[in-house]
Amino acid sequence: MSLSPASVRAVARKDFRDALRSKTLWILSALFVLFAAGMAYIYTLLQQGTGGELSSLDLVFFLQSPVALLVPLTALLLGYKSIAGEIDSGSVKILLSLPHSRSSVVLGKLLGRTAVLTVPILIGFAVAAVVVVALYATFSPGYYVAFVALTVLFGLAYVSIAVAVSATTKSTSRAAVGIFGVFALFNFLWDVFGWGLHYVVTRLTEGRGVFYPFPNPPNWYFFFQRLSPNGAFSGSMTAMLPGDSQVTEYFPQGDVPFYLQDWFSLLILVAWIVVPLSLCYRRFKAADI
């Protein structure tokens, strides 16, 4: 059975309605309102006495690190049961007995879970915008909207990873282990692996291992940093918002390779949406359920 847009919409709609009935959507909306609006207010307190002018652009860069933790965690928790939960309960057989192909189920689950994440993000940052307009000296709506859009795209990448993990396992317990590993890898271990890889490479090529911080990191090291969803999110921030690139200082002549330019990070982020889903679909399509 081929991919059907109507079937995809039906699966996504059911997922979204289930989130409404289970109060998941309302809980997440409250969480993001508290997070975004709360952080907007906390930033005003942190800036008191500094003499600096409060601006929404400074706020979004202040929010980058907290968002890089909260959004992946929320997206992974939303997505890990998406297909594994259906297999665990046996309801996947009922779902597939309806006019839904496996590709429609995978894509529908992705869109449904993404909608459940996107709505709270939009509500939370809309409330935060009210705080910004009321308390900040400068509000740049274009940059603020760009940051929110990038946050949604970042969340979509992690939902895709979670659905991929869910589709390649046959139990929610295994899926839970998988998303825990994904979260730990991209949020805590990726840089450590990069440092270790740099040490090994310099040990083999120069006869001595170079420890972090590196005096003159090679291009491949910067690219490795950008390859994770979090690294791509960071690079995309600089691409969409005014600010100095993390790698510009290492290329004083301006000859930055295209794969290290900030716009390329957006392509990497999109790849984290497409590639995991494509790989998981092959596994799910061949699975005996």
Mean pLDDT of 72-85: 93
Distance (Å, whole) CA 234 – CA 65: 9
How many percent of the chain have pLDDT more than 70?
A: 91
Residue 98's φ and ψ, nearest 5 degrees, are -75, 170
Distance (Å, whole) CA 261 – CA 255: 10
For 223, how many CA atoms within 13 A lie in the half-sphere containing its CB?
10
Residue 97 reports pLDDT greater than 80: no
pLDDT band at 111 (very low <50, low <70, confident <90, very high): very high
- Burial code (b: 16+ CB inside 10 Å, e: under 16) for 4-23 equals beebbebbbeebbeebeeee
In terms of pLDDT, which residue wins out, 169 or 215?
Answer: 169
Tens digit of each residue's pLDDT (9 = 90 or more) over 148-179: 999 999 999 999 999 999 988 878 999 999 99
pLDDT (0 to 100) of residue 1: 47
Distance (Å, whole) CA 31 – CA 33: 6
Distance (Å, whole) CA 215 – CA 108: 47
Distance (Å, whole) CA 171 – CA 287: 13
Peptide bond into 213 cis (omega under 30): yes
In terms of pLDDT, which residue wins out, 246 or 277?
Answer: 277
Residue 132 reports pLDDT greater than 90: yes
Mean pLDDT of 84-100: 73
* pTM, two decimal places: 0.93
Tens digit of each residue's pLDDT (9 = 90 or more) over 22-76: 899 999 999 999 999 999 999 999 988 776 789 999 999 999 999 999 999 999 9
